[in-house]
Amino acid sequence: MTNAIIIGGGSGMGFALARNLLAEGMDVTIVGRSASRLAAARAELEPAERGEISTFEADLAREEDVAELFAQVERVDHVAVTAADASGVYGRTADVATAIARSVVDTKLLGAWLIGKHAAGKVTGSITFTSGINAYRPNGSNTIMAAANGALASLAYGLAIELAPMRVNVISPGWVDTPIWSQLGMDKQAAFAELAERLPVRRVGTPDDIAQAFLSLMRNGFITGTVVHVDGGHRIT
Ligand SMILES: NC(=O)c1ccc[n+]([C@@H]2O[C@H](COP(=O)([O-])OP(=O)(O)OC[C@H]3O[C@@H](n4cnc5c(N)ncnc54)[C@H](OP(=O)(O)O)[C@@H]3O)[C@@H](O)[C@H]2O)c1
Could you tell me if 80 and 4 are in contact, meaning their C-beta atoms sit under 8 angstroms apart? yes
Mean pLDDT by 10 residues, the chain (237 residues): 95 98 96 98 87 97 98 97 94 96 97 98 98 96 96 98 98 96 86 96 98 98 98 97
Please provide the DSSP assignment of 70-117 as one string.
HHT-S-EEEEEE-----TTT-S-GGGS-HHHHHHHIIIIIIHHHHHHH
Residue ranges per structural domain of the chain: 3-236
So what's the pLDDT on residue 194?
A: 95
Give dist(CA 62, CA 106) in Å, integer.
8
Closest C-alpha among 214, 31, 21 to residue 114? 31
Residue owning the nearest CA to atom 46 of ligand 1: 84
- Each residue of 75-124: pLDDT tens digit? 999 999 999 999 999 999 999 999 999 999 999 999 999 999 999 999 99
**Atom number in ligand 1 closest to CA 61:** 31
Q: How far is the CA of 107 from the centre of ligand 1 (A)?
A: 10
Give the residue, by CA position, lying nearest to ligand 1 atom 5. Answer: 175
| pLDDT at position 27 | 96
Strand pairing partners for 7?
A: 31, 81
Nearest CA to ligand 1 atom 29: 83
| C-alpha 7 – ligand 1 centre gap (Å) | 9
Q: What residue type is assigned to position 88 of the chain?
A: G
Ligand 1 center from residue 49 Cα (angstroms): 23
Residue 80 CA to ligand 1 centre (angstroms)? 12
CATH classification code of 3-236:
3.40.50.720
pLDDT attached to residue 47:
78
